Amino acid sequence: MAGLPLESILMLGYAVSLALIALLLELIARHVYRRSLALRTAGFTYHPDRDIWRCPEDQHLVPISSDPVRRIVLYRAPAGVCNACPSKSACTDSSQGREIERSSSNELEHGIARFHRAVSLTLLVLASLILAVELVRTGGLYPKIALGATLTLFCALIQHLSAELSERVERTQSP
């Protein structure tokens, strides 16, 4: 990279590595979130037209209660059906029937997602500050163009992630 001072190259590399760590954190957080949702209802199928869950043994879990404030609906299969099911030990230990909680806003999962997003944003802001300081500190047109272009990209990413975080916070706080 002719024309770029070694310090600028190192700062640019460090800032890009922070951004890559932020990206990796975002990818891991999405994967874990999707996996946790899938594991909670593995083998069960939700039928929104009838508002029921169907278990792998072709039995139905029907809504038994709802909490409009927390936006949660609790579904349960009949106890007699579950207790006589050959798959019961792999499904539930409840003698009242298998339960599934469906939430349009799971506060814990959204809180974890907000935490990961905040950490990603912190890393990107730190990387941007490093680039901004190096941009002011360094001389020469070529280093300023390289640092400025990278800083512009990071600022666009920060704006995008911040907008998604704000939207996510609003969704969890609205009734």
3 occurs within a structural domain: no
**Domain termination site, one of 53, 71, 104:** 104
**Domain termination site, one of 83, 104, 125:** 104
**Calpha distance 65→103 (Å, rounded):** 12
**Tokens for 104?**
């349009």
**Domain termination site, one of 104, 123, 153:** 104
17 occurs within a structural domain: yes
* Full-model pTM: 0.63
pLDDT of residue 1: 54
94 occurs within a structural domain: yes
Q: What is the pLDDT of residues 70-116, one digit of tens each?
A: 778 899 999 999 999 998 888 888 899 998 888 765 566 677 778 88
2 occurs within a structural domain: no
Same domain, 27 and 84: no
Residue whose tokens read 């936006």: 71
Same domain, 116 and 162: yes
Same domain, 120 and 161: yes
Same domain, 168 and 130: yes
21 occurs within a structural domain: yes
Query: Which residues 6+ apart lie within 8 Å of 95 measured at CB?
Result: 79, 83
Q: Is the dihedral of CA 150, 153, 159, 164 positive or negative?
A: negative
Same domain, 90 and 74: yes
Q: What is the pLDDT of residues 118-155, one digit of tens each?
A: 999 999 999 999 999 999 998 888 889 999 999 999 99
**Calpha distance 91→94 (Å, rounded):** 9
Residue whose tokens read 């207790």: 83
Classify 54 in phi/psi space as left (phi over 0), alpha (psi -120 to 50) or beta: beta
State the average pLDDT for the chain.
Answer: 86
126 occurs within a structural domain: yes
Give the three-class secondary structure for 53: strand
1 occurs within a structural domain: no
pLDDT of residue 142: 86
116 occurs within a structural domain: yes
For 67, the domain range is 41-104
Same domain, 96 and 114: no
Same domain, 121 and 157: yes
Q: Domain total for the chain?
A: 2
Same domain, 88 and 70: yes
